[in-house]
C-alpha cells in the first residue's frame, strides 16, 4: 500500500504533474490486488480518485478547487460520469469558488458534464442539499449542452420535493423556443392545483411563440386521441414514468384557458387549436365532454362561424337569377353544336316561297 509521503505528494501535485504522479504510482499496488482486466496498475481508478479528492475536501477546499480542472481533464472517463465527485465539490465550495468554476467552464478550461451522462447526474442531485443543487445547475448551465438533453428530468420532479430543480428548469425553459418534445414533457406533468409549473411556462410560450405552440399542441392532441384507450393504459402501466394522456393535455389546456381569461391573449382563437379540439370532441366520451365543456365550447363556436357562411353563400348562389338562367341552358356543348348545325341545315333547305313562285310561273305559262 502507498505510504503517507507518496499520498501527500499526489494530493499536493498541480495539474500538469498529475499524469507524472499517476505514472510513478503504478507500482504502489501488487499485481495480485489489481482488478482483472484493469488497463492501469492503479487498481480501481475511480476509487483512488474519490479517496484522494475526499482527503482534499477535508483538508483544503482551495486545493480541491485548484485540482478540479486538472482532474476532470486528465480523467474524463472517470469524472464526467461521477455524481459522487460533483457532490463532493459542491458540498464544500462557497459562492466565490462556484463563480470561479463557472468561469473556468466558460473559458474552456473545465468540462464537468457530457451529453451522455448529464441527465443521470442531475437526477442524482435531486437528493442533495439546496445550495448543492443550485451549484450543480449553475455549473450545468455554464456548459453549452442543449436543454432537450435533460428535459426528461421533468418526469422525476415533484413540486413539493424538488423546488430547486423546477425553478432552475423553468427559468431556462423560458429562454427556449418550444419544440414538440419540450411541450410533450411539460404536459406530461400531473395536473395539481398547487403545481403552477406547466401553466407558467405555457403562458409564457403563448406570449412569445403562440403559433408554434399551437401547432405542437394540435399535433399532440391528435396523436393521443388516435391511440386506442386500452393501448394507452397498457403503455402507461408498463412504464414507471408518467405517460402523456389525452386527459392530461385537456386539463392543462383548461387551466391555461382560465389563466388567460382576463388577458388580451387570443391563443385559443387560433385555427390549429380549434381544429384539434373539434377532432377530440368528435371522438371522446360523454364524461370528457361534460368535464371540459367550457373548453370544447370554443370549438363549437368556431364550427358555427366556419360552416354557416359557406352554406348561406351556396343558397344565395343557387337562388340567384344567374344560376336559374344557367340551369336552363343546355348541359353540354355537344347539344349546342347539334342545335346550331340543325339550324344551319334548315337554312340550306329551299324555302316554300320559292316553290310557290315556280308554281305560279307554271300557271302563267299555261294561261299564255
**% of the chain surpassing 70 pLDDT:** 65
Residue 33 has pLDDT above 90, yes or no: no
Average pLDDT of the chain?
Answer: 77
| Between 285 and 350, residue with greater pLDDT | 285
pLDDT tens digit sequence for 308-321: 444 444 444 444 44
Domain 177-227+244-304 of CATH type 3.40.50.970: no
Residue 128 has pLDDT above 90, yes or no: yes
If 0-12 CB within 10 Å is exposed, 13-18 middle and 19+ buried, where does residue 82 land?
Answer: buried
pLDDT tens digit sequence for 225-259: 876 654 454 444 334 455 789 999 999 999 999 99
Residue 37 has pLDDT above 60, yes or no: no
- CB distance 220 to 265 below 8 Å: no
pLDDT tens digit sequence for 329-365: 544 444 444 554 444 444 544 454 444 444 444 444 4
pLDDT tens digit sequence for 273-282: 999 999 898 8
Residue 368 has pLDDT above 50, yes or no: no
Confidence at 54, pLDDT banded by 50, 70, 90: very high
254: CB partners within 8 A, 6+ apart: 292, 294, 295
- Taking alpha carbons only, the member of 172, 69, 52, 75 closest to residue 122 is 172
Residue 300 has pLDDT above 90, yes or no: no
Task: Say what the pLDDT of residue 194 is.
Answer: 92
Give the whole-angstrom CA distance, residue 204 versus residue 256.
11
Q: Work out the average pLDDT over 128-155.
A: 95
Task: Say what the pLDDT of residue 226 is.
Answer: 73
Task: Say what the pLDDT of residue 303 is.
Answer: 55
Give the whole-angstrom CA distance, residue 219 versus residue 176.
19
Q: How many CA atoms lie within 13 A of 289 on its CB side?
A: 11
Q: Work out the average pLDDT over 45-54.
A: 89
Q: Work out the average pLDDT over 134-143.
A: 96
For the chain, where do the domains classified as CATH 1.25.40.90 start and end?
A: 177-227+244-304
Confidence at 43, pLDDT banded by 50, 70, 90: low
- CB distance 246 to 284 below 8 Å: yes
Residue 63 has pLDDT above 90, yes or no: yes
Task: Say what the pLDDT of residue 177 is.
Answer: 94
Residue 60 has pLDDT above 80, yes or no: yes
Q: Work out the average pLDDT over 103-130.
A: 96
Residue 164 has pLDDT above 50, yes or no: yes
Give the whole-angstrom CA distance, residue 70 versus residue 242.
40
Amino acid at each position: 500500500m502507498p505510504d503517507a509521503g507518496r499520498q501527500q505528494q499526489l494530493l499536493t501535485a498541480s495539474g500538469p504533474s498529475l499524469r507524472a504522479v499517476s505514472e510513478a504510482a503504478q507500482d504502489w499496488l501488487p499485481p495480485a490486488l489489481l482488478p482483472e482486466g484493469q488497463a492501469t496498475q492503479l487498481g480501481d481508478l475511480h476509487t483512488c480518485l474519490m479517496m484522494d479528492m475526499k482527503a482534499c475536501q477535508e483538508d483544503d477546499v482551495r486545493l480541491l478547487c485548484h485540482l478540479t480542472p486538472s482532474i476532470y481533464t486528465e480523467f474524463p472517463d472517470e469524472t464526467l460520469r461521477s455524481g459522487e465527485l460533483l457532490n463532493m465539490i459542491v458540498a464544500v465550495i462557497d459562492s466565490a469558488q462556484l463563480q470561479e468554476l463557472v468561469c473556468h467552464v466558460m473559458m474552456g478550461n473545465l468540462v464537468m458534464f457530457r451529453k451522455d451522462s448529464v441527465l443521470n447526474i442531475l437526477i442524482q442531485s435531486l437528493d442533495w442539499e439546496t445550495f448543492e443543487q443550485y451549484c450543480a445547475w449553475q455549473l450545468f448551465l455554464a456548459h453549452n449542452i442543449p436543454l432537450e438533453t435533460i428535459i426528461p428530468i421533468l418526469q422525476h420532479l415533484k413540486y413539493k420535493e424538488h423546488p430547486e430543480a423546477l425553478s432552475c428548469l423553468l427559468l431556462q425553459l423560458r429562454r427556449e423556443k418550444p419544440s414538440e418534445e419540450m411541450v410533450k414533457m411539460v404536459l406530461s406533468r400531473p395536473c395539481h392545483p398547487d403545481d403552477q409549473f406547466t401553466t407558467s411556462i405555457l403562458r409564457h410560450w403563448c406570449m412569445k411563440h403562440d403559433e408554434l405552440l399551437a401547432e405542437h399542441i394540435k399535433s399532440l392532441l391528435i396523436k393521443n386521441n388516435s391511440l386506442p384507450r386500452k393501448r394507452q393504459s397498457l403503455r402507461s402501466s408498463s412504464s414507471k414514468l408518467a405517460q402523456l394522456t389525452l386527459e392530461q393535455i385537456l386539463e392543462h389546456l383548461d387551466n391555461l384557458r382560465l389563466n388567460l381569461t382576463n388577458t388580451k391573449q387570443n391563443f385559443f382563437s387560433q385555427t390549429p387549436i380549434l381544429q384539434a379540439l373539434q377532432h377530440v370532441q368528435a371522438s371522446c366520451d360523454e364524461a370528457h365532454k361534460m368535464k371540459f365543456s367550457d373548453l370544447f365550447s370554443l370549438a363549437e363556436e368556431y364550427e358555427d362561424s366556419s360552416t354557416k357562411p359557406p352554406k348561406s353563400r351556396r343558397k344565395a348562389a343557387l337562388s340567384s337569377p344567374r344560376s336559374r338562367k344557367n340551369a336552363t341552358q343546355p348541359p353540354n356543348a355537344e347539344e349546342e353544336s347539334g342545335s346550331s348545325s340543325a339550324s344551319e341545315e334548315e337554312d340550306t333547305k329551299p324555302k316554300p316561297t320559292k316553290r310557290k313562285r315556280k308554281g305560279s310561273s307554271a300557271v302563267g305559262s299555261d294561261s299564255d
